[in-house]
Amino acid sequence: MQRRLFVQSCLGHDIEETVERVTNIQQDLATTVRTLNDVAQELIGVELLDPAQQLLARASGLWEIHLLQEPDAEPFPYIHLLDSRATIMFRLGLYEEAVAAELGVVELFESLAKEDPDSYLAVLATVRARLADYLRAAGRNAEALHHQRQVVETYEKLATSDPSRYRPSLVVSLTDLGELLRDLDNDDADPVLTRAATLRAALSGDI
């Protein structure tokens, strides 16, 4: 709660003042970067994309300094910066830039999921689905199809071990895959969409 209030208190200040306030109050650069990203997320939420972008640029510079000091630092603050940048680029209609940023997020989570699938496989599916959306927006449907198939495969695996938790996500991912296949005039579209509808109906019956 205190962190949230502090983040919101930064919104009325210009970029340099915000960076100074956060830097002065946080104990290390990694926490500073996370907090600056939180402020940027608040700005994105109210469509203040330009100041959010400036704030992310400053946070990225601080992250580079942090890496020089701690080369083995955990990547999560940087992952969040990349994801925020992708969101901004997408909302600005700069789809190729959004793809590039989100691809970085996916690659980092791929590495984490290999080491600890129980913790990161579901997150990887989420960010990969986002990448597929950005690729579709960029007109790169064949690449989007590759990633969306992987999303479905991941949720198939997760739903096998925890159906109540992951079947809804499987339904969404199958629907997205079917719609993408339909856009590509692929004959597999109807069977995939039918399966998604069947699973959705089964979920409704379980409620």
Residue 13: CB atoms within 10 Å = 14
Does 2 score more than 50 pLDDT?
no
User: 147-172, pLDDT tens digit by residue?
Assistant: 999 999 999 999 999 999 999 999 99
Q: Do residues 167 and 203 make contact, with C-beta atoms less than 8 angstroms apart?
A: yes
Confidence band for 28, pLDDT divided at 50, 70 and 90:
confident
Rounded Cα distance, 110 and 66, in Å: 23
Helix (H, G, I), strand (E, B) or coil at 26: coil
User: 136-149, pLDDT tens digit by residue?
Assistant: 999 999 999 999 99
Average pLDDT estimate for 89-107: 98
Structure tokens at 161: 């071990």
Does 72 score more than 70 pLDDT?
yes
Structure tokens at 121: 């496989």
* Global pTM value: 0.86
